[in-house]
Structure 1
Amino acid sequence: MAVLGEFARTRLAGDRLHRARRRDARTADPARGLAAGMDDACRRDAALDRTIAGLGLGALARPQRHPEFGRHRAAVELFGRATARGRSDLPETARAPLRRAVRAAGRRARAGGVGTRARRTLTMRLVLATERTRFDAGAERLAIELARRAQASLHVVYPLVANPEYQIVAPERVAAEEAAARAALEELARQASAAGITVSIHVREGEEPWREIADEARERQADLLVVRRIGKRGVVARLVVGEMVSQVAANSAVPVLMVADSPLWSRRVLVAIERHARAAAVAPVAVTLAALAHAPLAVCADESDAAIVAESARRQGVACERLADAGALDAAFAPRVQQAGADLLVLGLTPAQSAHGRLSRAIEELIGAVPCPTALVRG
């Protein structure tokens, strides 16, 4: 019923456009008023697209839209054709600027914008979690490069384990540890400054380091939290991922990017979405990461979820193709990452895969089995 309601409202946009045309014919600048009416139709059509995507109907519902009222044709057909054939009741002096306004708005609509606004600028609020160990070096380098690509500042959080008894018995040792942490972060800030990045340093103390990291990302309203992937290498995936990192990823309210020691992706971004994961939450993260690196997208998901990602990619001008269903996300999925030629993996997780305060064993084994960075988006 919601879709039918949106269809009805979209079809009524034509009547509103005709009324605007007659009303604005009596104004001093009719082209501006008619372009505004066209923009209103564009907005309504974009809202319809979002409703269809949100209901999981994907591209199956869009061809049913009336051809005269789609974003790609509505105003150009209603106004451009009428004025071109000389049937407009506007004065001759107003027809040329009207045609220009309609064509310009049509180009904006076809390019993925809505109304008079240009395509959305890619911006990200980035938080990097580090303890300045050799395992953190790859995450630090990639976070700086992401901030440079996004022309964004970088917030860096350094977690310290707080022990109330230790603070009472040896407060000077606690102060020395905090001073050492800040000195290490100052060196990182100098590296970022050399790349033109502004860094904000945050040293947080708490009994659970993962909680301090997750809280910092939430308080900064981050779009992405960058962390290391490897703690201590071992034959068990949990040792490769690291306990603290697994807890951060399972409890973070923002997407988490795990990095071992890899450069910025450039070949392909592979998106894998399990059933019952929220594709609408995964799509903007995957598309933004692909757009920042000028890399194409490949999607492993069912048709409805893949359609949501494809629509988001289209709006940002990112190439996207669907490969197949994701199936089970575990170590057996790792060869498909290599077969796709991907150097970034984006996973859409279900609540069950991040339950009990840490990632599931299957997800940790998958992360440990792929050499590329992995972004995790919880549903």
Structure 2
Amino acid sequence: MKPAFERILLATEHTEFDVGAERVAFALSKHCGLPLDGVFPMRSNPEYEIEAPQLVVKAEREAAAKIAQICAAAESQGVELNVSARRGEMRYREVVEEATRLHSDIIVVRRRGKRGFLAQLMIGEMVSKIVGHAPCSVLTVPRAAQMWQRGILVAVDGAPSAANSVKLAIQIAATCGLPLTVLSVAALDFAPQRAEAESIVAHHLATIQAAGLQGSGMVRTGKAFEQIVQGAQAAGADLIVVGRQSDGGIVKAMLGGTAQKVIGLAEMPVLVVRN
């Protein structure tokens, strides 16, 4: 079976909020036997550089020191890490462009920086935009999260693109030797909706079994993002896989979509699969 990932990119500013992403990226790199790419995004603009060159120099020195710390931490874990610092007006764009340049197939990033006054379910603006614009799948990691060791839950609906999420979940489950659960959520507890969800689960379970794995199915009723997180907890999973939906070029994961809410609520890594 093809490996789940072949080129991993860690996006970090090496703050207290990035420690989970760094921990999981190192573990994933070691597990896959791959070197790790890194990108350190820095906010800057031409006016700032002209008017305050001394501050630019200071920022670059601080970034260099942080990058050295990250590389030392990776080396202590036996991970080969190459970090590039990129400057631009929008940090998310630097991350996305680096992933494009490197042909990365996964970006590992924190869930959020400092929490704003809005909301348990909010994720950081930079992270939201990375999820929405990335050319590949994005793994968001809370500060305290670890590399998955217990199980994987993949959330699916009736969209054809759900097959991409299931395919990647199968690859991860196979390489990690972990149980895989397929979940579909019915918005209402009525027979037709539950029957549709059960049919969706059965379809994807057949795909899992055809790949030589044993999977389990689950149907829950209610708000999708709440039921996905609760379903993962019930299944004993410590990785959630969801799809990144798009509609007419507008990525729903950016503004209140199910993926964003799952990321904000879950205390485990969430893999958002590019469809």
Corresponding residue SS for 2:254: coil
Query: For residues 227 and 72 of structure 2, what CA distance do their matches in structure 1 show?
Result: 41
Structure 2 residue 48 is the aligned partner of structure 1 residue 166: yes
| Contact 2:182-2:204 at 8 Å conserved across structures | no
How much does 1:357 deviate?
A: 7.9
- Higher strand proportion (structure 1 or 2): 2
Q: How does 1:317-356 map to 2 (within 5 A)?
A: 317-324=212-219, 329-352=224-247, 355=250
Query: For residues 353 and 305 of structure 1, what CA distance do their matches in structure 2 show?
Result: 26
Structure 2 residue 45 is the aligned partner of structure 1 residue 149: no
Corresponding residue SS for 2:9: strand
Provide Cα deviations, 1:149-203, integer angstroms capped at 9, x if missing partner.
Answer: 0000111101111221111122232133123212211111111112221111111
| Contact 1:127-1:217 at 8 Å conserved across structures | yes
Over the residues paired in the alignment, what is the CA RMSD in angstroms? 2.6
Query: For residues 174 and 50 of structure 2, what CA distance do their matches in structure 1 show?
Result: 50
Q: How does 1:28-43 map to 2 (within 5 A)?
A: none
Q: Give the 3 Å change call, closer, same or farther, for CA 326–223 of structure 1 in structure 2.
A: farther
Q: How does 1:109-188 map to 2 (within 5 A)?
A: 119-120=1-2, 123-188=5-70
How much does 1:238 deviate?
A: 5.1
Provide Cα deviations, 1:328-365, integer angstroms capped at 9, x if missing partner.
Answer: 53234432221122111101232149936862324233
| Contact 1:266-1:295 at 8 Å conserved across structures | yes
Provide Cα deviations, 1:239-294, integer angstroms capped at 9, x if missing partner.
Answer: 4x111111110111111111012111111100002332512321332223333432
Counterpart of 1:291? 174
Q: Give the 3 Å change call, closer, same or farther, for CA 188–342 of structure 1 in structure 2.
A: same
Aligned length: 259
Q: Give the 3 Å change call, closer, same or farther, for CA 353–318 of structure 1 in structure 2.
A: farther
Q: Structure 2: which 5+ residue stretches go unaligned?
A: 185-196
Counterpart of 1:359? 254
Query: For residues 15 and 154 of structure 2, what CA distance do their matches in structure 1 show?
Result: 30
Provide Cα deviations, 1:271-325, integer angstroms capped at 9, x if missing partner.
Answer: 002332512321332223333432111011454576457536753x543222237
Counterpart of 2:189? none
Larger relative contact order (CA 8 Å, sep ≥ 6):
2
How much does 1:214 deviate?
A: 1.1
| Contact 1:161-1:208 at 8 Å conserved across structures | yes
Query: For residues 182 and 309 of structure 1, what CA distance do their matches in structure 2 show?
Result: 48
Query: For residues 362 and 324 of structure 1, what CA distance do their matches in structure 2 show?
Result: 20
Q: Give the 3 Å change call, closer, same or farther, for CA 305–336 of structure 1 in structure 2.
A: closer
Corresponding residue SS for 1:257: strand
Query: For residues 220 and 230 of structure 2, what CA distance do their matches in structure 1 show?
Result: 15
| Contact 2:183-2:231 at 8 Å conserved across structures | no
| Contact 2:12-2:18 at 8 Å conserved across structures | yes
Q: How does 1:48-59 map to 2 (within 5 A)?
A: none
Q: Give the 3 Å change call, closer, same or farther, for CA 160–350 of structure 1 in structure 2.
A: same
Give the counterpart letter for 1:374 in structure 2.
V
Counterpart of 1:12? none
Counterpart of 2:183? 300
Give the counterpart letter for 1:267 in structure 2.
R
Q: Give the 3 Å change call, closer, same or farther, for CA 365–285 of structure 1 in structure 2.
A: same
Give the counterpart letter for 2:183 in structure 1.
C
Give the counterpart letter for 1:368 in structure 2.
G
Counterpart of 2:188? none
| Contact 2:244-2:252 at 8 Å conserved across structures | no
Corresponding residue SS for 2:148: coil
Corresponding residue SS for 2:224: coil
Provide Cα deviations, 1:75-127, integer angstroms capped at 9, x if missing partner.
Answer: xxxxxxxxxxxxxxxxxxxxxxxxxxxxxxxxxxxxxxxxxxxx545652100
Query: For residues 235 and 248 of structure 2, what CA distance do their matches in structure 1 show?
Result: 24
Query: For residues 243 and 4 of structure 2, what CA distance do their matches in structure 1 show?
Result: 21
Identity within the alignment, %: 32
Q: Give the 3 Å change call, closer, same or farther, for CA 164–214 of structure 1 in structure 2.
A: same
Query: For residues 18 and 242 of structure 2, what CA distance do their matches in structure 1 show?
Result: 22
Structure 2 residue 159 is the aligned partner of structure 1 residue 264: no
TM-score by length of 2: 0.83
Q: Give the 3 Å change call, closer, same or farther, for CA 314–271 of structure 1 in structure 2.
A: same
Q: Structure 1: which 5+ residue stretches go unaligned?
A: 1-118
Q: How does 1:155-304 map to 2 (within 5 A)?
A: 155-233=37-115, 236-237=119-120, 239=122, 241-260=123-142, 261-276=144-159, 278-301=161-184, 303=199
- Higher helix proportion (structure 1 or 2): 1
Counterpart of 2:268? 372
| Contact 1:331-1:362 at 8 Å conserved across structures | no
